[in-house]
Chains A and B, each alone.
Chain A
């Protein structure tokens, strides 16, 4: 399988004097897979996504996409390659869902170009994938939390990135919408995209992810298939609290004690 993302010896801190937020991280992600990043609050999950996006330069280490160093890509190309759906993304003006999703086409347009029929077609496809075609003309600010989250994913799909980063995509979602979001990530990966998402829910991770990373204080505690990573020992080490893992036909099920 082709390697989509590879990280070598990655370290980062917001304040050079302060403790590292990400420390000596190393991993590789295959193309067309879903990877979940699990860990307690404030361990550096979002920072890891932001480093992959290039929002901050790492203090040390190497980030490669498809074997090419991140710096080897032109600024415009990298925007076509990596997409991000932020946590609690806010939209200040009443754009319609269609107008908002259309923004995802920006990396494919010239500086002064306006979106054309091809871009609108990409928006229609993205809305169809997330099941929001009927809401295309509704203002994004008037959507429910779940619909809003799906609209963010549709915007990222319209961007058509090879690597899609989702920061806690299931937070604020009810059971049905969580299931919808997880299925959506699986669909995106089945189409050859590489998905990385952060979550607090080990069961959501095990339901969809090919690989799970456990992160504690910026360090990778474990990375592997759900059944090898979601063990009582590793989860207790990661969260510092006792958990019980029940093995079911659908994979490991985690509950706190």
Chain B
């Protein structure tokens, strides 16, 4: 555990450097790097930084932390290192809800975000309900199987809505939402998301050691934990609530919840007491890094989900091909 804490320090330092450096990255007034003299001398540049760039940096970092923390919770509770919010119908439900908001409910921001949150929770609720009706396998297997089925149903619904969408007006908006992005994030958005996500992150952080316990098999958990089902439910609901609060604002941002917990475990070991805080930092770092590229590389915005998937998949392959990488069970 001691070495884990020591390894956390460089991550913290690099993250701080990126957080600070991101303020200087952008395409206004000139592409890539904003000079300090421009910031000091030009009030419009200062306004761009204060009202657009900084809220976006905060949102990217917070969303990265949330997706990584949720990924850690999902992977540990489901005892499966290949699980993230995509399972359990959470992401699928949010995508379907947002598509419904755009195509059927008129496309207003409250309609998109409200429907995304509602269906993210419906995804979890439905997966949970179906899992209680499955007559074989342990709790984790039942929930995973029902989650896969519910996700597939939502995916087919999203596909239908894409098919029905107006190709000139609704389809581009729908496609852009499904690819994710942080354009147009404002200070009120930050406050709304923080009001939900920070308490959720605190709960997950406080339960971090118990995540180790909840990753054991059913009989072992039962012999050690008095109210295991309640703890699992609390952590899953917290992770889903935080994820849906983020996804409502950012759209679909894949791979963060899958790859970041792996990176954290590789860096400082599997004990969630250390791996979770490192995961939070790395998640924030990863999404901020991707968003910096998304808004800086080209004159137009590159959808964030494209970059997180591209970089995430690359990192995942690198981890898989590394000899020290192990997905084996005990």
Interface residues of A (CB under 8 A from B): 50, 53-55, 74-76, 78-79, 82-84, 86, 89-96, 99, 103-104, 106-107, 111-112, 114-115, 139-141, 143, 148, 159
The residues of A that contact B212 with a CB separation of less than 8 Å are 93, 95, 99, 103
The residues of A that contact B219 with a CB separation of less than 8 Å are 50, 53, 55, 84, 86, 89
- Name the one of A75, A78, A86, A141 contacting B220, with C-beta atoms under 8 angstroms: A86
The residues of B that contact A90 with a CB separation of less than 8 Å are 217, 329-330
A89 and B223 within 8 A (CB): no
B216 and A103 within 8 A (CB): yes
The residues of B that contact A50 with a CB separation of less than 8 Å are 219
Known: A76-B226, A103-B212. A84 touches B270 (CB 8 A): no
Bound form: Cα–Cα A159–B210 in Å? 15
B329 and A141 within 8 A (CB): yes
B48 interface contact, C-beta 8 A? no
The residues of B that contact A76 with a CB separation of less than 8 Å are 226
CB A87 to nearest CB in B, in angstroms, measures 9
A-B contact pairs, 18 of them (CB 8 A): A50-B219, A55-B222, A76-B226, A78-B226, A84-B220, A84-B222, A89-B216, A92-B80, A92-B81, A92-B330, A94-B270, A95-B269, A95-B271, A103-B213, A106-B225, A112-B206, A141-B328, A143-B330
Known: A90-B330, A91-B216, A95-B212. A103 touches B224 (CB 8 A): yes
Known: A95-B271, A103-B216, A115-B209. A159 touches B330 (CB 8 A): no
B217 and A86 within 8 A (CB): yes
A53 and B326 within 8 A (CB): no
Among A93, A95, A141, chain B packs the most CB atoms within 10 A around the CB of A93
CB A101 to nearest CB in B, in angstroms, measures 11
Known: A93-B265, A95-B271, A99-B271. A104 touches B330 (CB 8 A): no
A104 and B224 within 8 A (CB): yes
Bound form: Cα–Cα A210–B273 in Å? 42
User: A89-B217, A111-B210, A114-B209 provided; 19 other pairs, C-beta below 8 A?
Assistant: A53-B219, A54-B222, A75-B227, A90-B217, A91-B216, A92-B79, A92-B80, A93-B265, A94-B265, A94-B270, A94-B326, A96-B271, A99-B212, A99-B269, A99-B270, A99-B271, A103-B216, A103-B224, A115-B209
- Chain B 207-238 interface mask (CB, 8 Å, partner A; 1/0): 10110110111111011111100000000000
Bound form: Cα–Cα A54–B212 in Å? 22
B117 interface contact, C-beta 8 A? no
Among B219, B225, B269, B271, chain A packs the most CB atoms within 10 A around the CB of B219
CB A81 to nearest CB in B, in angstroms, measures 10
CB B71 to nearest CB in A, in angstroms, measures 13
- Name the one of A53, A54, A106 contacting B210, with C-beta atoms under 8 angstroms: A106
9 A-B pairs with least C-beta separation: A91-B330, A93-B270, A75-B226, A84-B223, A92-B79, A106-B224, A141-B330, A94-B270, A86-B219
- Name the one of A96, A111, A141 contacting B326, with C-beta atoms under 8 angstroms: A141
The residues of A that contact B222 with a CB separation of less than 8 Å are 53-55, 84
The residues of A that contact B226 with a CB separation of less than 8 Å are 74-76, 78-79, 107
The residues of A that contact B216 with a CB separation of less than 8 Å are 89, 91, 103
The residues of A that contact B302 with a CB separation of less than 8 Å are none
The residues of B that contact A93 with a CB separation of less than 8 Å are 76, 81, 212, 215, 265, 270
B215 and A82 within 8 A (CB): no
CB A145 to nearest CB in B, in angstroms, measures 10
The residues of B that contact A159 with a CB separation of less than 8 Å are 223-224
CB A107 to nearest CB in B, in angstroms, measures 6
The residues of A that contact B225 with a CB separation of less than 8 Å are 79, 106-107
The residues of A that contact B328 with a CB separation of less than 8 Å are 141
B223 and A53 within 8 A (CB): yes
- Name the one of A75, A94, A112 contacting B269, with C-beta atoms under 8 angstroms: A94
The residues of A that contact B218 with a CB separation of less than 8 Å are 55
Among A91, A115, A141, chain B packs the most CB atoms within 10 A around the CB of A91
Q: Which of B79-121 contact A (CB under 8 A)?
A: 79-81
Task: Look across to chain A and name the residue whose beta carbon is closest to the beta carbon of B330.
Answer: A91
Bound form: Cα–Cα A115–B272 in Å? 13
CB B63 to nearest CB in A, in angstroms, measures 25
Bound form: Cα–Cα A148–B271 in Å? 18
Bound form: Cα–Cα A140–B328 in Å? 11
CB A99 to nearest CB in B, in angstroms, measures 5
Bound form: Cα–Cα A76–B224 in Å? 9
Task: Look across to chain A and name the residue whose beta carbon is closest to the beta carbon of B79.
Answer: A92
The residues of A that contact B207 with a CB separation of less than 8 Å are 112
A106 and B217 within 8 A (CB): no
Among B209, B222, B224, B273, chain A packs the most CB atoms within 10 A around the CB of B224
Bound form: Cα–Cα A103–B215 in Å? 11
Q: Which of B223-261 contact A (CB under 8 A)?
A: 223-227
Task: Look across to chain B and name the residue whose beta carbon is closest to the beta carbon of A104.
Answer: B224
Among A53, A84, A95, A148, chain B packs the most CB atoms within 10 A around the CB of A95
